Every structure is written in C-alpha cells, then in structure tokens.
Chain A
Amino acid sequence: MNIFTNDITWILLLPVIGAVGVYATPTKIARWVALVFSALVFALSIIMFFRILSDGGFSNFGDLRHLPDSFDALWINFNAGSFHFNIHYFVGVDGLSLPLVVLNALITMLAVIGGWEKTRVKEYLALILLLESGVMGVFVSLDLFLFFLFWEVELAPMFLLIGIWGNDAIKHGVPGRIYSAWKFLLYTFFGSVFMLAGFIFVYLQSGQTSARLTDLSTHLLVGSVQIPLIGVTLSLQLIAFLLVFAAFAVKIPMFPLHTWLPDAHTDAPTEVSVILAGVLLKMGAYGLIRFCLILFPQGAHEFSGVLAVLAVINIIYGAGICLVQSDMKKLIAYSSVSHMGIILLGVAAATGTGDMAFRMAALTGATVQMFSHGIITALLFFCVGVIYDKAHTREIVIFGGVAKRMPMLATLFTFAALASLGLPGLAGFVAEYMVFTGSFKIWTAVTIVSVFTMILTASYLLWMIKRVFYGPFNKKWDWLPDASPRELIPLFALAGVIVFVGIYPTALINVITPSLSQLMHSALAFVK
C-alpha cells in the first residue's frame, strides 16, 4: 500500500498543507483556506469512521497488528553491529484513538470558526492547523519514537500561540502570555525528558529491533533491580512506568504537576484554550492508557493504589479550589483538573485488583470521559470567549445578571455548566457514572470520597453562572450584545454532540470497547 493512499497520512498532511496555504494566500482568502482544510480533515476522519464501520464494524478493532486502517513503513533504519535503531512510520487508529481523532478534527474546525476575527489572523490560523497535525500525530502513532516526535511537535505551535496572542496582564514581572507559554513549555519538557528516557529504557531492555507498540507489547519487561544507596527493590516495569507516566502526568495534569494549566488557560486566547482543554489534555490520558497500560501492566498495577489516591486528590482538590476562583477561565481550568482526575480514577480502577467487568467499565468510563470532557470544556471555553471578546474581562464578580442582555449565551453557558456537572442526558454523566460504578468495586473508599465532587462541581459552576448571568442586573453591561451567529455555530455544534453522547452513548462505547477489552484481556488479565 502506498503511503499516500492511506487516510491517516492525509489526516496528518492536510493541516500542514493547509497551514502553508493559509500563509501563502491573502488574508481574506486565508480564513476560508483554513476553514476548508480543517473541514476536510474533519470530513476525512468521519469518512474513515464510516468506512471502518461498513468494512465490518468495530469488532476487529482490538488487535493493533490488524487494524482496519493502519500504515507501517520503515522510516529511520540505523544498524551498527548488534545495535539496531529503527523507527517506523507506524500509524493507525483503533477504538481508543478514533474518537479522539474525530474530536480533534471537530474542535480544530470550530476553533478556526471561532478565531475568524483575530489580529494577525493568518499566522494564527496557520499555527492552529499545525497544532492539529501534531496532535493528530500523537493520537495515531503506534511507534514509541514516532509518538515522542509528535508529542514534541505539538509544543512549538502551542508555545507560539500562547506567547503571541495571549494575555498581556503582567505575571511575575513579565507579560502573562510569556510567563505561561514558558511555563507550559518547560513543564511539558520536564515530563518529556523522563518519557524519552523511559522509552529508550524499555526499547533497549526488550531487545527488539523496532519500537513499534506491537513488537514491544509481546516482550514485556521482567525482573527487578535493587536501587543502590537506599536498597529498595523495584520491578523494572514500575521504573519504566514511572518514567513514562511522568510526561503523561504533567499533561493530564495530575496534582501536583498541574499548576501550568490554570496559567496557560488564563493567558491563552479563547480558541487555544479550547484546543488545550479539549484535546491536548487528552494526550496525557490517551498516552497513559495506550502506552503505560499496554507496555507496563505490572508496573501500572503496582502503582494503582497510589494512582487512585492521586486521582481523588485531583478530583476533590481541583473542585475545591474552583470555589474561590475569580476568573472564569481559571475556574474552568481547575475544573478540568478535577474532571481529568476522573480519568485517573478509571485507570486506577482498571489496573487494580478485582472483578474484570467492573474494571472494564471503569476504563471505558475513563475513555468516554476523555471525549465528553473534550466537548464540554470546549463549549465552556467558547462561551467564556464570547463574553470576553465583548466585555474584555473575565472577572466573575464584576458581571451580574447579564443574561438579560445575552439570553442566548446565558442559555448555552448554563447548558455547558450543567453538562459539566454531570446532568443525566448529557455527555458528562455517562462517563462519571461509569467510572464511579466501576471503580466503586475496586477502590471503594477512594470512590466514596470522589463522589463528593458532585456537590462541589455543582456548587462552583452554578455559583459562577449565577454571579455572571443571573441575579440583579449590573447596569454597566447594558450595552452588551448577545452572541453573533458566527459565534453561535461552534456553541450549537458542540451542544448537539453533548446531547447525542448523553442520550445514546452506546454509539461511542461500541467504538471503544473492542480496543479496551483487548487491552484488558491481554495486558491486564494477569491481575486477578
């Protein structure tokens, strides 16, 4: 098969071509170029979805060796004596990555619509398209080093997007956008270093000639090593797990590595926040399930208890801290910390000891949470963006009763908040409910504590909504116009997806299940 007849190649290439096109054309056309290319990628991902569906459904999604849509070619081939260093261009989608690919394509397309009237719009849209390509790469790579490559590629556009279009308010002596861009970059790099070390470690230890996931997953690490000086014996898997997990923990973000997120969100422009919360955070969770669980099941199992505790800290700590935020975006950023904790809880339950079915449910819930948190938080950030673009502030307390002037936005914002707090019938509920019911069997005490997030989430979101939109009207906002039709497009699109997933989650679950059950039965089955 030719590399250029593969869908996935085009999903990776089209945004890049689009970015060049955006740069090369005059501003007026450039926007449409960006829209067309992002729409093409979205269309392609949807086509891929339906083609796989018609080619025999998602049942053959489980085995990474025989994915219905994948491509494998040797890219870097370096052999010196007994040392082999081969990197494959090995890409493919399975049930775990397909929803995220679609999510990324959708959110980027909506971000292009949202960023229609930015200053320096050409550069802005071009970078967003490059970002899309990088993130897509993360989701489709099945080779460790290719994954690492894309993991780093995504940083550059993000750094520029925050650093150039961000907020100018001074933080720690520099403009906030500079501070946050660096913080984002360095935090991620900090994690990446460990990930690369972990990848090299597992690659060399396995003795394989390539770092494809399919090769390494059949040669798992065994044995343990005694750490000199302190004399603790650790299994190799745990060491490798911790190294690789460090990168994912930063990205998820997991307490206490989370402080880059509120800063990055508050200082990023709207669309970048949307992508950051909607897609980029999922890279961490995705990597955790895709690489850590497949490559280091034993290590993940040994870490499972700690992970569960960290998850509950994430959930409760993130929710608690939301209560005292004064900036809408910061509040939503911390709520992401809390919601991503639910994914961690699901993973912790999946790697724990106990009934397979419940662990499976928890892991499925975690995967659904990736998707639903993506669309819900994207919607929330879009809503904040609309109000910020008009009022030029996001301070909660200086608003008051503006639903009177922005009824449409108030409705959608409230809708998003309700979805986020897990109202049944909307996407957030599905994931939360699955994770909680699943993990309750495995980590009972931890789950009981986590469930209290229901109260906190409802409190901080409704309180924010109330202070901004409801209650006595603050006359100074008398001039505020409601959201324009262009701004409403992304809002309605996301709202539609949220309702669909909430009412008929089976559609999503059917895609996810084969991959996860394969994962559970091959990798984690030994944990009884």
Chain B
Amino acid sequence: MYQYSGLILFAPLLSFVIIVFGTRVWDMTSRPKKVQITTHDGHNTYEGEGHEQEAHVGAELAYASVPAVTTAAVAHGAQDATAHAEDQAAAAHGANLDDHGEDDDEDPKVAHLSAGAIVSGYVGIGIMLLAAIYSWFLLLSSLSDTAFQKTGAFVWSYDWLKQKGGVGDYTIAFHIDTLGLAMLVVVTTVSLLVHFYSQGYMEDSAGYARFYAYLALFTFSMLVIVFAQNFLVIFIGWELVGLSSYLLIGFWINKKAKPEEQRPSPANAAMQAFVTNRIGDVGFIIGIMILFVNTGTFDFPTLFVKAPQVMSQGLLATAMILVFCGAIGKSAQVPLHVWLPSAMEGPTPVSALIHAATMVAAGVYMVARVFPLFVAAGPVALLTVAWVGGITALFAATIALVQSDFKRVLAFSTISQLGYMFVGLGVSGLGGPETAAIYSTGPGMFHLFTHAFFKALLFLGAGSVLHSLHHATHKEVQDMRLMGGLGPKMPITALTWLIATLSISGFPFLAGFFSKETIIGLTAQRGQWALFIITLGTSGLTAFYMLRAFILAFGGTDGKYGGMWGGTYRGVGNPKESPRTMTIPLLLLAIPSIIAGYWFGFFPYVGAREALDVAGLFTDPLTYVGIAVSLVGLVIAYFMYARLNPARLHTIVENNAALRTLHRIFYNRYYVDEFYNLLIKYGVLGLSHVEQAFDTYIVDGLVNGVARLVTTLGRDIRYTETGRVQSYMIGFFGGVAVLTVVALVLVNFVAK
C-alpha cells in the first residue's frame, strides 16, 4: 500500500507531460490563426503563429491608429533599416535603450479559454485530486500502523549513475515515512486547492495551460523532496523546485517593474529567486560533499549511523551548518531572505503554494529529515539553526509592521514564521541525543504543518481580494492604502481571512496557537531565554501586523463592530466577492486553520518520544504570558488602525524623529536590498570588469603584441629587399668578406 505512494509522486509529472505535450498544444492550435503583418521596413514579413500572444498582434494593429505611436514606429522602422544594413547595430542602438515600447501585457488575456486550456486545468485538478485523496488515505491508515511508523516504506529506486570501480552510491531512491507523509498531505492538499482556485484566478489568462503545467511540475519537484531518501535526491528536488519557482514567479514574462511601489519586474524577481537560492545551494552542496567524502554515501539512514562514527564532531558540525545554508536560501532566512518578497510578483496562487506553504518549508523539512545528524553535530550546529531562525523571525516581523503592499506583508510574515520553525527544530535538538529524542522534530514540523494551511489561506484570500480589485479597477492594486472596507463586499474572503489572521497570531484554540506556543515554551524549557524573549516578542509583532493588514483591507474607522468590518473603501470601482472556484478553497482551508492544532499525537507520529502535553500547556504560566503578548499585539493594532484615523497616525509618526527613522528603516527593509545591489554592482560586476580588462589588455595585448612585433619586424626588414641586383651582390660579397675575416680571426687567434 505505501509502496504505491510512488503513484502520488509521479502523478503530477504525468499531468505535466499531458499538459505540455497534449492539451497545451491543443490549446495553441485551436487559437485563431495567421495574421499577416508587413513590418516597418517592408522586407520582413511573418505570419503570426497561433501562440499565446495573439492578443498583441491585434493590439499592435490598434496602435497603428494612434498617431503618436505611429510616429514612434516609423522612427523604429528607420532605425531597423540601418540595423539590417549593418551587423554592428549595437552602437547605433545604444542611445535608444530606454525606448522600449509601452507595456501592453500585464497578463495577456484571451476572450474565451479554448477547450484545450480548460482540459489542461481539469487534467491538473483531477490528477491532483486523486493524489490528495490517496495521500490522506495513507496518512489515516498509517496512524494505526506502528510498523510503518517505525521504519517507513521503501517506494522506488534506480541506479542513476553506477560505475564499476568508482564511487557507486549515486542512487535515486524514494522512501516514505511518517515525516514524509505529514509533509505529503500538506503538499498535495494545498496543491489541489491551489489548482482548483487557479481556475478562477487565472480565468482568462492566455497562459492558462502553461500555468497548470508549471503547477504540476512544481508539485512533482516538491514531492521529490518529500520522498527523498538521500542527499542526492533531495538536492535534485531542491533544484527542481527552484526551477519551478523561477518559471512561476516569472510567469508574466513581459510585465514591467514598478519602482514607485518598490516592486521588481517578475523576470527580475524570478532571476533573483533562483540566484539567491543558488548561493545557499553552494553551501548545501559543499556540506553534502563533506559528508560524502567521509562516509562514501548519500543515504540518510546510513549517514545517521556512519557519520557520527567516522567524522569528528567539529567536522560534522561544519558540514551540517553548510547543509543548513541550503535551508537558509530555500526558506528565505536572513541573510538570503531578499528573494521571497520579490517572489510576490508571481501570480498569487503561486505565492500561496510555493512561497508560503510548501517550497519555502522545504528547508525546514530538510533539516527535520536529517535531524539526527544535526543532533550528532552538537549544540553549535543546532544553535546556529535556532539563532538564524530567531533573528529572522524578529527581523522579518519588524519589516512586516509597516509594509503597505498586501502580499508583501504576508511574504515577511512567512519569513518570520519559517524562522519560528527553525527555532523549534534547533532548540528541540539541544541537550544531547537523549533530550533531543523527547520532542525530536515535532515542534518545528508541527508549526510547518499548521502554518501551511493558514498561510495558504491568507495568500489565497489576498489573491481573492486582488482579483476582485483587478476586476473593479481594471488595474493591478496591491497597496492596502487603496483598499479598506472590503468586509461586507466580499464576506467569505474576509471571514476566512480573519480566521487565518487569528490563527497565525496565536489566538487561543486555533491551530497556530498550539504550534507556536509549543515552540515558545520549548525555548524556555531548554533555557534559551534570549530566544524565548525574541520569539515571544515576535509573536506580539505578528499579531499586530496581521490584524493591521486585516483592518486596512477589510475594515476601517467608520466600519461596524468598532471598525473591524466594512467602512470606507479607498479605491475606485465596486469590488465584489470572487467566484465560487476561489471561495471554496478558502472555506476548505479555514477548517484546518482552526483544527489542525488538535492533532496532539503529531509529535510521536513524526518520531518524538513524547506527545504534546496539552494539560501542561494550559497549566504553564508562560503560555499565558504568550497569550497575553499576542493579545496586546492585537489590541494595539485594533486601536491604531480601527480607532485611529490613518492620516492622524501618519502625522504622529512623521512628527516623531525616532518613530520616523524606525519607520523608514523598516519600510526600506533595513536597506538590505540596496546593500546587495551595491555589492553586486561594484563588487561582483567590478571584478568582472577587471577580468575583462585583463583579458583584453593583458592576455590579448600580449598575443596581439607578439603578432604586431612580428609583422612590424617583417615589414621593416623587407626594405632591405630593394629589387636591385647590385645591392644583393654587395650583400653577398660583403657577407663573404665578413665571414672570411671572421674565419681568419678564429683560425689565427682563437683556435691557437
């Protein structure tokens, strides 16, 4: 039964293949065909093919009627002609770089989705539905299966690369156990809901089929990580999710940057995400190699046994910290967090699936997966994990306090919550193997589990708002200052969002409460008081910024229930509730956002010795401190945003130097992005320029110099070739005479 979970793994790959080679081709071919266009310079004609940018061919024809644009087109045409006349267009065009055409495709639309596109969606949803059902079935049946809980089950493997006499352990092996199963249901469930939700969100997008293909590819890649049995496979999955994330962030290929909102173009964001992850991956791969060269294997169970035996603790700690670098990149921890806010440029369902619930949690999952190695590596590695998590949690929460972009608040909130998970993992492992076994990966994974649901809900809810505003205003609105009072207009979205907000804030008896309070309590229990203060404070900040976002979007000072619901809408148009395809996933996600925390047997399920002590939780005074801090955060947010006029708040902050500075630092995200930009511009690219100069002037200079020397010499010496017989004769006889003299001297003086 468990072995067939391989079907779940390959199901998304199947739907990817079906969509890419089947329904998407169908979608393309069924589009209206062939628009003949004569280009500006007259000699280049082409037939518009049935690809997804059709709409723009029409758009371009429309442009031709606008005089200003026509003039520009003529100018381009003239320029084109020269470009074709000469190959070295570069110089000619250098001046014209900024002259890119007006951006006409935020998201290319089609009037009606073709049958192929719709079927693509159904294929994706159908296959994911089956996979999700099967994974839930496995989860439920494994609850009572102690044999499986102990060892897990082998799924499938093949020799990716095998060599006689070489290091032979490059095996692709998949394996499922309780830890994987917990992750599996998260991935398949959220993925299914996102697939379903996208029907509404992407309703008239020209890239509908492509979107579903990418989603399927992502789900497959993520499942590779879930099923990974060794470092090789996890690294493969690691890079593949990076790829899918790259493709999905950059889904709107031609969209422009919006510097006034501090938003990069999707293309830039995608690249930034991939490259930043690669930086972490370098550490990851070096760590893997240290383990590999010392133990000769990538296999997790073997490593758990062998690595502590053959490696010194210092070396193992180094290796594990390097491995953790990979998690820092993937889970957007400080200092590699910059890509995640940028990644919000992707479509919102993608943000929900990849950049909130699953992919970013892969780092946490990986650390949990190799947890015994971290434990064996000792406190240095574990404290690194915990402190990176703790610092990130606080750092991201402070930034989230003041962001005005709806999705960006959620992005920083995600970063912050991932920090919590690392704190949970790191702290839980402290105190030697015996102590570590008590909670094992439980607290961290538990928070991952609950967070996945309510964060996905938050993002999908945000997506619902953005979708609705897009319809109402006919442009993209993400700024919360242009929202407000949306509660009564879109009640389902608002209500579910409120549930998720309270859940993430640690409001008692909701999912987030259990998982977060456990982590905070654990820091105290292990005596990490500094981390305790940080996580506790962060929980207050979390409550504050989440309720702030809720009130800014859905409420207002003049709303009902003391400003919590409705009020003035600050934007234009008339936003309405999103279609049912979008609200159903919201409702479904609201359920686990409330109840996911009641799985008290989660810790033993993922391998801990003890279960979550619920009774102890409610008798521990620290829990009440935690609740109090969260409530304080909520209350402050309520009074600041639901009772206080935004303009008033603005004046207060602007008139106080300390607050103003703080606001500016938080708003600009501690200037980390600026710092990185400078570093790249002057550090990395500067070095590259130096190299280029070295190549051009030193190496090539030497080469060309030698060539020039030889040619110059040849050119100068040829003047001795006068063409006159008599000068040659002089040379000849003169030469003979000189040689004779030399010979005589040699014979008579030297030889004697």
Contacts and interface: CB of A to CB of B under 8 A. Distances in A.
Contacts of B246: 462
Contacts of A430: 161
Contacts of A259: 695, 699-700, 703
A462 B253 contact: no
B282 A505 contact: no
Interface stretch (A135-143, A210-218, A372-380, A471-479): A471-479
A462 B275 contact: yes
A320 B691 contact: yes
Interface residues of A, number: 85
Contacts of A440: 286, 289-290, 292-293
B37 interface: yes
A364 interface: yes
A424 B236 contact: yes
A393 interface: yes
B221 to A, nearest CB: 9
A434 B289 contact: no
A341 B160 CA distance: 24
Which of B47, B84, B165 has the most chain A CB within a 10 Å cutoff?
A: B165
B274 interface: yes
Contacts of A404: 53, 56, 105, 253-254
A186 B710 CA distance: 13
Contacts of A424: 235-236, 239-240
Contacts of B88: 169, 393
Given A393-B90, A471-B268, A506 B166 contact: no
A473 B254 contact: yes
A222 interface: no
A471 B264 CA distance: 10
Given A323-B684, A398-B97, A454-B281, A517 B165 contact: yes
18 contacts: A167-B87, A172-B704, A321-B691, A322-B688, A324-B691, A326-B90, A392-B84, A395-B93, A407-B51, A424-B239, A430-B161, A434-B170, A470-B254, A475-B72, A479-B37, A479-B39, A479-B41, A506-B159
Contact of B51 (A262, A463, A482, A504): A482
Nearest to A356: B165
Q: Which 6 A-B pairs have the closest CB atoms?
A: A475-B101, A479-B39, A470-B267, A481-B46, A424-B236, A395-B90
B161 A506 contact: yes
A437 B170 CA distance: 11
A238 B39 CA distance: 63
A441 B293 contact: yes
Interface stretch (A7-15, A78-86, A444-452): A444-452
A168 B692 contact: no
Given A424-B240, A447-B289, 17 more contacts: A168-B87, A172-B704, A256-B699, A321-B688, A324-B692, A392-B83, A397-B94, A425-B236, A433-B170, A451-B282, A462-B275, A470-B254, A470-B270, A472-B257, A475-B101, A517-B164, A517-B165
A454 B282 contact: yes
A416 to B, nearest CB: 14
B240 A425 contact: yes
Main secondary structure of the interface of B (DSSP, over half): helix
A200 interface: no
Interface stretch (B73-81, B175-183, B739-747): B73-81
A197 B37 CA distance: 62
A150 B688 CA distance: 37
B40 interface: yes
A342 to B, nearest CB: 14
Interface in B35-58: 37, 39-41, 44, 46-47, 49, 51-53, 56
B549 to A, nearest CB: 30
Interface string B233-249: 00110011001001000
A248 interface: no
B513 to A, nearest CB: 39
A41 interface: no
A405 B253 contact: no
B476 interface: no
Interface string A229-270: 000000000000000000000000000101100100000000
A218 B243 CA distance: 50
Contacts of B688: 320-324
A474 B161 contact: no
A274 B695 CA distance: 23
B503 interface: no
Contact of B162 (A183, A473, A479, A509): A509
Interface string B246-288: 1000100111110000000111101100110011011001100
